[in-house]
Structure 1
Amino acid sequence: MTTTYRTLISATELLALEKQPQALLLIECSFDLADTDAGERVYRDQHLPGAHYLHLDRDTCGPMTGRNGRHPLPDRETFAARMRALGLRKETQVVAYDRQGGPYGAHLWWMLRWLGHEAVAVLDGGLAAWTAAGGPLSKHETPTPHAGDFVTGPSLSPTIEADALLARLGTLRLIDARAAERFRGEVEPLDKQAGHIPGASNRFFKDNLGPDGRFRPAAELRAEFERLLPPHAPSAVVHQCGSGVTACHNLLAMEHAGLAGSALYPGSWSEWSCDPARPVAKG
């Protein structure tokens, strides 16, 4: 019987999994918001053997309109077709990784769950953990696989849109994954105005990681989130960030900690702040 990984997978577990006969799809998601070609460059230089690369802007996001945020969700069926082209089937175990502590891998994890694919995990510690465990690297181009037959199913990742969020402010727990100085509105390097959505709490996504770059133990994460959530259940929690990407790191941390059911506001601050009619808080 094969094991299905649904949140995190360690480098040693992945090394063992590669020896098994089950279908495995490796995806590198490394990215740099300040240099959007950097992730693909380092992938071409060295990557996990057999890994494919997905670019945040080109492959996992839809067109921007100026009012739907910096990384809007793509059309669901269009993204499913992109994954089928990489060989995705219902039984495929997907492992996503990056070199930035997991936010881009977690974004792909969330998006595949959004398509209804359950067998997806993030490589804990990314490429650094892989090499530390003795995993090899490759400079060879990964061949194009035979197309898969994946079909979208009911989403495993709830979402909420801006108008619905506005109507429910004060009735749910909103968690912002950005750095504290951006949350407080002291700086804003990317979006139209500084601040945060009123009523939000700040949980910087990097707080989920230990000094080794891996996710902290599930019990520690659970204890910290349980101090943040009351009086709300996980199902009444909405995660957001600047553009709906790093918030997925907090979603993954909660799922790993056994606190399932939270939603994502995909447009996040970049969408919210572009409409002057929406309220803004600072401090």
Structure 2
Amino acid sequence: MNIFENNPIVPIQQIKFPGNNIPVNVFMKRDDLTDIFISGNKFYKLKYNILYALENNINRLISFGGAYSNHIHAFSYACKLFGFEGIGIIRGELTYPINPTLKFAAQNGMKIEYVPRSEYRLKHTDEFKAKLKEKYGEFFYVPEGGSNKLAIKGAAEILDNIDIDYDYIALAAGTGGTAAGIISSLRGEKFIYVFPVLKGAEFLRGEINNFVNLHSSSSYNNFDLIKDYHFGGYAKTKPELLAFIEEFYKLNEIQLDPVYTGKMMFGLNESIKSGFIPEGKTVLAIHTGGLQGIEGMNHRLDNRKINYF
């Protein structure tokens, strides 16, 4: 059975925040439950990339990511599931022991090539792609994070079958592809608060606009970046974030990853407490999955002798 034949129906759960009784209604779309291995926004972003490769009899897919990448985790499993030769170009050097994300990818049969960071920055160039073609032969190129026109098409389906009324959407962002899909699907309606998980992420505004235009040949201004909750940068954490994630789980029995959705929900809570989001409004938060990142983060933090979860 093709898991991409129909988009999964997932629960929409009302949320309680620790230490916050301000009357703002918050609901969460549980896209962490889309699939065990291809979860959250990765389900939607990979969907049309995989279908395109199948329809065009492509055998080899290459993609990119960091050592703890949710995308690489899901991409490797999708390649195994659909019988593609999957190749992952990983930023940085090989280190031992191999972390849980890359161990999972290798178990799925993905070939892993480590690339120094200075060279990795050139991954979009024709010269870099030519070297890959010379080494591996013909392949279908899936960008870092999976964000391309096909991914935006998939992400535009995230809000299908929503049966509650809401004023705002809240979601985390890395490359901006998921945000672009959601913005495109709303066509200027509602308002979207995007919480970048990167430090210095103002550039994402342009990236999101470019993705929106690529998908819909339109532009919209009904979104803003909330840039204060990156906790030092991508995959960086602080004790208050980890404490919030634990308290959130006790209240809601929902796991949040510390790289994406945990930061977004922390920022949303603070935005409500500060009055930035007015009382009486309703927010629909998107859980973009990435729970495999919990194991990866434990791996990193254990190496630094910090207890987590």
- When the two structures are superposed, what TM-score results if normalisation uses the length of structure 2? 0.27
- When the two structures are superposed, what TM-score results if normalisation uses the length of structure 1? 0.29
Which structure shows the bigger proportion of residues in strand conformation? 2
Which structure shows the bigger proportion of residues in helix conformation? 2
